[in-house]
Amino acid sequence: MRDLLADLNDRQREAVTAPLGPVLVLAGAGSGKTRVLTYRIAYLLEQKIFAPPEILALTFTNKAAGEMRGRIEKLFTPSPNPSHQGRESTKKKIPPPFVGEGRWGVTMGTFHSVCARILRHEIAGLKRGYDRNFVIYDQDDSQRLLKQILLELGMAERFRPNVVAYYISAAKNRLLEPHQLALQNSFLEETVQTAYQEYQRRLQSQNAVDFDDLLGLTCELLAQVPTVLRKYQDRFRYVLVDEYQDTNHAQYVFLRLLVKKHKNLFVVGDDAQSIYGFRGANLQNILDFRKDYRKARVIMLEQNYRSTQNILDTAAQVLKLNTFQYEKRLWTKNEAGQKVRLYEAADETDEGGFVLSVILNPPLAEKGSRFFGLRPQNDNRVEELVYETEETPILNQFFKLHSRRRSSSLPIYGSMNRQATDLGETVILYRTHAQSRPLEELLLSSGVPYQIVGGIKFYERQEIKDVLAYLRLLLNPRDLVSLARVINLPARGIGEANFRYLVQGLQKFQFNFGRLGRNLAELKLQPKALEGARNFFRLYAGAGKIPKQENLLGVMKFFLARSGYQEAIRDGSPEGENRWENIEELFNVAARYKRLPWAAGLRAFLEEAALMTDLDDLEEESNKLTLMTLHSAKGLEFENVFLVGLEEGLLPHSRSLLSPQELAEEIRLAYVGMTRAKRNLYLSYALQRQTFGEWKRAVPSRIIKAIPKRLIEKIPPHPSLSLQGRGIEGEGDFTL
């Protein structure tokens, strides 16, 4: 292995070689925090300070864990026998392999995936009736269950399942049981408490956990079962955490329990990038690190390797709007670079047109030259203009798409060159998903290839969730949410009343599908439902006869064919074939587990599907423009960044304006977006925006006003673009 320390700057080297004990690395944006984490692991292994199985690295996304794993592969290749990697003087026994660990025994994964693996081994110790075949409910599954509970409570018309789910999730992140909720005589709070209690009872009875339970139950397990706690304290003698500022209370408690014995906790984070308060992330965890771990060493990483100095200075000025944060000044050896470009758009369509013009013709935008527009006619219609370029069809498409808008003038921008910008290195960032609509319209009309992060994810597609539900029942017959989803897919004549009778029968026969199938005649089922239920349960009754060494893919194909679901999907329509293609892609995922016995492969497969994140669907190697929310962008970097919609009420969001804590997080969100840019940063806002079908006046964000003029180059709008004829006559002019 090459000299690790030669690749590091002084501060990075200090972090990588730090003594054992608690260490906080405050790593500014683009300062190499992932490098420090991976080099720290390699250093511990190279110096034989710890054996590979004794190291645990925790992240927040599968993507981050994969990146860390890939970097270590390039740095360190231990000998085939992991026992030779430990402390030779002690010759202690190396712990047995941990499910999901890396090829060398180092365990890397998200908090939720690691907790899920611990629970697979130890959940019986909670004495709550769970077994290792528990299923993990995603957001949709949880809300289906809550909807049923609210219906039974007579509250379905007053409270939506997603609202109640939000409050339950917030309670779980704080490790609060239903009886611990503080009630303020609010009907909503009382409903949440009642629904929460019944929700947990049903999860337990169905051998199911939700996403938050993975953390909460693991904390409960470690706190209440001393033998399990000691086992994992001795197993993971050194713990590393990425993005520590994003930890919630449950994750904080989990770490405190895990490292209490050996005190070896190495965390990397940046308080300036704390943007997930709405998910329960607690900024105080990183601010109070030195209080929690009094002998902690704190190391600052301030040299930025990503961005130009002008981008860093701009982001720093925005961050000054906040107080109560660690002081740090990012600097770089990179060039000063271009000034940040700022565009004042007449409306959201004009804003999208500006973005498109820069993407397709950056040289013109670099010079600040602009623009070609549409001439308004007296009756607020747009006169058709033919612009003579090689790309006239693109321009005309753009024009025709928007010519019927009420706007009196709409821009068409200079000569467009499709190859002008590396689309794979370009991203459009916005505060809310709703802002993507006008951008998508323009991109579709211009033929620019793009991808949206955070749209309908692969594992959220209806057909994929159907297949997963069929499979979950193979391991866990108590999963009534999955049963309700597929019992009548394809149609078997089983409505709500017949389903209730089936549930009663399942409870009577202790969720044994075979016994229920043989005794269906005892239930009050209609003839058609009786035959449909008999075929369904007969299918699962034979699951016990599947040879253990059968692979998962074979089992999947068998069940989909015999259940009739495959035939129902492939109905000859183009939509049906598209849905089947998605299922075939799922087959490709299942094929990765072909070397495992089918039951073990199925457990791992279902766990992978449940723990996928938005960013795991990002195609980083494709030459596509990326659209995503600011919250999804953290941890990524692009040559060119467009941050759109910088208006009061959008960024910062209107919900944050009455809360100093939430407003501070919105400022940090803008900071995160700006520091994704390597070379080019474009900011834009609109003077008006369409909301709920009405044009409303917009005010430039305080974020823009915080940036000194010396750092900004304003791109002038076309003279014809004004508020006149755009639904807000006489409202005056907006200028900075």
Which residues are tagged catalytic?
33-34, 242-243, 273, 676
Alpha-carbon distance of 289 to 267, in angstroms, equals 10
- The number of residues making up the chain comes to 736
100: left (phi over 0), alpha (psi -120 to 50) or beta: left
Residue 475: how many other CB atoms lie within 10 Å = 19
Using CA atoms of 642, 646, 649, 651 in order, give the dihedral in degrees to the nearest 10.
60
Q: List alpha helices for 385-486, DSSP H.
A: 392-402, 436-446, 462-475, 480-486
Residue with tokens 């009534």: 480
Residue 82: how many other CB atoms lie within 10 Å = 18
- Residue 694 has φ and ψ, to the nearest 5°, of -120, 145
Produce one character per residue of 644-666: b if its CB has 16 or more CB atoms within 10 Å, e if not.
bbbbbbbbbbeebeeeeeebbbb
Confirm if 256 and 264 have CB atoms less than 8 A apart.
no
Confirm if 668 and 431 have CB atoms less than 8 A apart.
no
Alpha-carbon distance of 687 to 257, in angstroms, equals 52
Alpha-carbon distance of 415 to 687, in angstroms, equals 26
3-state SS, 372-387, equals: EECCECCCCCECCCCC
Q: Alpha-carbon torsion 92, 98, 101, 104, what sign?
A: positive
Residue 5: how many other CB atoms lie within 10 Å = 12
Alpha-carbon distance of 418 to 469, in angstroms, equals 44
Task: Find the farthest-apart pair of alpha carbons in the chain and give their distance in angstroms, rounded.
Answer: 89
- Residue 642 has φ and ψ, to the nearest 5°, of -110, 120
User: First-to-last CA distance in the chain?
Assistant: 56
Confirm if 24 and 299 have CB atoms less than 8 A apart.
yes
Residue with tokens 């690395």: 25
Q: What is the DSSP string of 332-356?
A: -SS---PPEEEEEESSHHHHHHHHH
Radius of gyration (Cα) for the chain, nearest Å? 28
Chain center to CA of 661: 22
Confirm if 21 and 237 have CB atoms less than 8 A apart.
no
Confirm if 420 and 360 have CB atoms less than 8 A apart.
yes
3-state SS, 248-274, equals: CHHHHHHHHHHHCCCCCEEEEECHHHC
Say whether 72 sits in a helix, a strand or coil: helix
Please report which helix (H) or strand (E) contains residue 691, including its range: strand 688-691
Instruction: Report which DSSP code applies to 495.
Output: -
Give CA separation, 533 vs 440, 482, 488, 503, in Å: 45, 15, 9, 12
Confirm if 605 and 555 have CB atoms less than 8 A apart.
no
Contacts 24+ apart (CB under 8 A), 587-594: 587/553, 587/556, 587/557, 590/552, 590/553, 590/556, 591/553, 593/551, 593/552, 593/553, 594/551, 594/552, 594/553
